[in-house]
Amino acid sequence: MGNPMKIRAANKDGVTEVKVLVSHEMETGQRKDANGAIVPAWFITELVAKHGDKTVLSSEFGPSVSKNPYLAFKFKGGAKGDKITVSWKDNKGDSRSDEATIG
Amino acid sequence: MNNQRRTVLKSGSGAALLGMLAAAGIITPGMALADWNKAAFDAKSMADTLKALGAGSPADSKDVQVTGPDIAENGAVVPVGVASSLPNISMVAILIEKNPNALAATFTLPEGTEANVQTRVKMGQTSNIYALVKSDGKFFMATKEIKVTLGGCGG
């Protein structure tokens, strides 16, 4: 389990904007450590955002997404107080899911 | 429970998923995510990536916008956004031509989600960034050059 994500969701004029900041190393597998050994790749592969039970965004990441990935998107609908759930999985099998309320 | 595990194993591909299952024990029904498109993310060149995504040779479109800085001082964190006014967009992808693997991320947009996505990517060197969108089953592309003064890979 990684650290908690920071999720902000705000509804304006019927459109909900969601901003997610994930805490993850996103190691590319191209970097070498001080001894010249390659640091193994470690990155988020899949991230899904849901509004209630409905998927509003599903994404696949490669290692070239930045460390501590940031993501912003908008969807129609959503109301104040609704739940937004964001889940990710990485290539080492770790996963995490966090919730936020639309404000 | 066992039935579900069988189904997941059958539909899954590659060692990554097996490792994931082993570590996670089992995937809960609420988290049935799409299979990670390994071929597309492993592809090195733009052409191979587009092929792996099933995009062929997309047409350039003025209705697709790539936003980002003209010059990125730090290639490790380059804010990139894709927006489009085309109808029925189901997929958005961000590709960086000169990175070791061109594909950075793909987003599947269900109906109701706007074609307006922002994220941050790493860039090894100055390169063209391509935004690929799928609208009504057809692929369209737009590009923007971002100059990098300090690389984000291996630095």
The pair phi, psi for residue A13, each rounded to 5°, is: 50, 45
pLDDT value, residue A3: 87
Q: Domain of A67?
A: 6-101
Contacts of B16 in chain A (CB under 8 A): 45, 91
* More confident position, B14 or B58: B58
Q: Which domains does chain B have, with CATH numbers?
A: 1-42 (no CATH), 44-148 (2.60.40.2470)
Contacts of A24 in chain B (CB under 8 A): none
Give dist(CA A13, CA A78) in Å, integer: 10
pLDDT digits (tens, 9 = 90+) for A55-94: 999 999 999 999 999 999 999 999 999 999 999 999 999 9
What is this model's ipTM?
A: 0.92
Nearest chain A residue to B78 by CA distance is A66
pLDDT value, residue B21: 45
Q: Residue B20: name the closest of A30, B31, B41 by CA.
A: B31
Domain count, chain A: 1
Cβ of B19 within 8 Å of Cβ of A93? The answer is yes
Question: A12 lies in a domain?
Answer: yes
Cβ of A61 within 8 Å of Cβ of B76? The answer is no
User: At B22, is the pLDDT very low, low, confident or very high (cuts 50, 70, 90)?
Assistant: very low
Question: A1 lies in a domain?
Answer: no
Question: In which element (H, E) is residue B101 found?
Answer: none
Reported pTM? 0.82
The domain that contains A80 carries what CATH number? Answer: 2.60.40.10
- Return the ∠ at Cα B71 (arms to B67 and B77), rounded to 5°: 75
Nearest chain B residue to A39 by CA distance is B154
Burial of B48 (0-12, 13-18, 19+ CB in 10 A): middle
The pair phi, psi for residue B104, each rounded to 5°, is: -95, -50
Q: In what order do the strands lie in the sheet with A15-21?
A: A6-12, A15-21, A70-76, B113-121, B78-84, B64-67
Cβ of A46 within 8 Å of Cβ of B34? The answer is yes
Give dist(CA A20, CA A42) in Å, integer: 19
Contacts of B119 in chain A (CB under 8 A): 65-66, 69-72
Q: Has residue A19 got a pLDDT over 90?
A: yes
Question: A15 lies in a domain?
Answer: yes
Question: A74 lies in a domain?
Answer: yes
Question: A11 lies in a domain?
Answer: yes
The mean pLDDT of chain A is 93
Contacts of A56 in chain B (CB under 8 A): 110, 112-113
The pair phi, psi for residue B5, each rounded to 5°, is: -65, -40
User: At A102, is the pLDDT very low, low, confident or very high (cuts 50, 70, 90)?
Assistant: very high
What one-character DSSP code corresponds to residue A5? P
Give dist(CA A59, CA A49) in Å, integer: 9
Burial of A87 (0-12, 13-18, 19+ CB in 10 A): buried
- Which parts of B16-135 are beta strand (E)? 59-60, 64-67, 71-72, 78-84, 89-96, 103-108, 113-121, 127-135
pLDDT value, residue B121: 95
Question: A21 lies in a domain?
Answer: yes
Question: A90 lies in a domain?
Answer: yes
